[in-house]
Structure 1
Amino acid sequence: MRGVKGNNRFVEEFSPGYYGVCTLGGMLSAGTTHLAITPLDVLKVNMQVNPIKYHSISSGFSALLREQGPSSFWRGWSGKFFGYGVQGGCKFGLYEYFKKLYSDVLVDHSRTFIFFLSSASAQVFADMALCPFEAIKVRVQTQPTYAKGLIDGFPKFYNAEGLTGIYRGLLPLWGRNLPFSMVMFSTFEHSVDLIYRHAIQRRKEECSRAQQLGVTCLAGYAAGAVGTVISNPADNIVSSLYNKKAANVLQAVKSIGLVNLFTRSLPIRIAIVGPVVTLQWFCYDSIKLLSGLPSSGGLSRHQEDTSVSV
């Protein structure tokens, strides 16, 4: 694949520098966007942990503002910024790496299989990096007197619960983020292909930067919306475990209820995730384009020529 005509590349595709740009782009895009929506995340977590008190978006905001003041909406900001920055760097950078690796090795497999396997492989490592930050973030957001942030929250959490406590939510994180990531990346890739083939009817390399970023945003929003519904049950379980509302996954499922697993906090998660994923892809691809690289979407030319289309 070539970059936009006339661009000077800082790095070559699939070189170590290329994966470095992708990792940096993922860190910046994920960290800044998650930081921006910290108030919504604070409300979401409290709605999951205390659904009777915080039973809707409007009443939840009012209750937090009345009882804890405006500063409560930014609790856990450091966990959001650094945690999801690290996760985003691993997720995007490793996805690009695994997509190239698997597309070269699994030449007889469908594109969808490559997208699923690449995103799942990347997400496994990304969530391992996120888990300590997520543990502190959830505790800080739902227990106002627990700690101010990562600096004082991490030693307190580690001294009380150790690594076992910190990684208590890893399996539910995988349960939430693996399906989300697989659906999100695959939906994004197929949406990009659909838009170029049937809406624009031109190759990506023939489009301007603005057109490429427009396609990225449309595909990104579709990917975020679809992925949110898939991952909502595990998101509720994560919040329950880290706030000691349940001792294990089965107990959390029983206490929350099967229907509530899918519906609790879903509207606010859709409000959060759709725009966040769109902005992440926009920022990520902006960094790639500024580096003279093509925007995201598609496999290596060899894999495009040999893979099954679905």
Structure 2
Amino acid sequence: MASYMNKFVGAAYPVHSPIENILPKPEPTGVDLYSRFFLAGALCCSITHGALTPVDVVKTRIQLEPTVYNKGMIGGFRQIIQNEGPAALLTGFGPTFAGYFLQGGFKFGGYELFKKLIVDQIGMEKAREYRMPVYLGASALAEFFADIALCPLEATRIRLVSQPTFANGLLGGFARIAREEGLLGFYAGFGPILFKQVPYNMAKFATMEVVLEKALHFTNRTKESLSGSEATAYNLGSGLIAGFAAAIISQPADTLLSKINKTKALPGETTGGRLVKFSKELGITGLFTGLTTRLVMVGTITAFQFAIYGGIKKSLNATKSTEISK
């Protein structure tokens, strides 16, 4: 018993040598490092997407019912509050937070991992020369795995937003889809979500890297020379531009994803066939319905994601990501 207590107390209240407080702590590497990237990405995405749930509710309604919600973003807010009450703006918060926690971890952590793996394969010199393909390849691979985690929760969120009486929250909606439609119900939108998210993520990370590199070059600064507040400002500005680019590129797929998840497929319908059908019905104008709202949403989300991600990485001492910018 005494031995057990000594081990317990020693582990809980270790006595450190004074020199330990002077020497720098070793920086994390390997699994430890990339798990910190995962946590930082999970937190930054779940916080930002969760906070903007009301904007996403309005955007989804505009996409799915453009003849009803035809008064823009502010008008959409007013319509929903007037017809359903303020609480309706938080519809889908549960699956949004949970889904983007998982997706954010795989997205950001995966991007850091795949970027390093690619650099290890081709060498730093070639990676710097062909850094755009490296950014695009790493972000595409990361997003593929992130979407496997996100898709069931995104399907639940869209069903809750598009059909307010479908279920009471995340668990009820998730259970109903599982019971009535099975695994295919969760992954009916997997093709469209890849079609939307992979180009989105490629544009997001590649634009961020390029804009940040140009901004640092223009001001004759390096990442290492930036103070905490300066790094946040650079990340916010670069992230905002990256968000705009990503929103425009992925808008048609975002609209199609909302349409596919709103209703069940007819007997014999394939996902590809439904995509073609909805595209013809909507036309170019319809595919870009709600773009203004989405620019606000995605631009804001992306800017704050990169700012929060950088801050959390620093607090976790996970600053040694693979850098290939010139």
1:125 aligned residue (145, 151, 157) = 145
List structure 1 runs of 4+ shifted beyond 6 angstroms: none
1:135 is displaced (CA, Å) by 0.5
Distance 1:284 1:65 in 2: 33
1:241 and 1:9, CA in 2 relative to 1: closer, same or farther beyond 3 A? farther
Q: Which residue does the alignment assign to 1:51? A: 66
Q: Which residue does the alignment assign to 2:34? A: 19
Alignment of 1:40-189 (within 5 A): 40-55=55-70, 56-107=72-123, 108=126, 110-189=130-209
Name the Cα RMSD after superposition: 1.9
- TM-score (normalizing by structure 2): 0.85
2:253 is equivalent to residue 212 of structure 1: no
2:217 aligned residue (197, 203, 207) = 197
1:33 and 1:115, CA in 2 relative to 1: closer, same or farther beyond 3 A? same
Distance 2:86 2:230 in 1: 39
2:308 is equivalent to residue 283 of structure 1: yes
Structure 1 unaligned segments of length 5 or more: list them.
1-5
1:295 is displaced (CA, Å) by 8.2
One-letter amino acid of the counterpart of residue 40, structure 2: G
Q: Which residue does the alignment assign to 2:253? A: 234
8 Å Cα contact 1:83/1:129 also seen in 2: yes
Worse-superposed segment, 95-104 or 60-69: 60-69
Distance 1:223 1:8 in 2: 35
1:11 is displaced (CA, Å) by 3.6
8 Å Cα contact 2:240/2:303 also seen in 1: yes
One-letter amino acid of the counterpart of residue 91, structure 1: K
1:219 is displaced (CA, Å) by 1.1
Distance 1:83 1:268 in 2: 21
1:122 is displaced (CA, Å) by 0.2
Please tell me whether Structure 1 or Structure 2 has the larger radius of gyration of its CA atoms: 2
- TM-score (normalizing by structure 1): 0.90
Distance 2:322 2:263 in 1: 41
SS in 2 for 1:257: helix
Percent of aligned pairs with the same amino acid: 33
Q: Which residue does the alignment assign to 1:266? A: 291
Structure 2 unaligned segments of length 5 or more: list them.
1-21
Worse-superposed segment, 155-164 or 266-275: 155-164
- Please give the per-residue CA displacement for 1:235-272, whole angstroms capped at 9, x wherever unaligned: 000000001287521111112212321x2010000010
8 Å Cα contact 2:106/2:146 also seen in 1: yes
Distance 2:179 2:109 in 1: 33
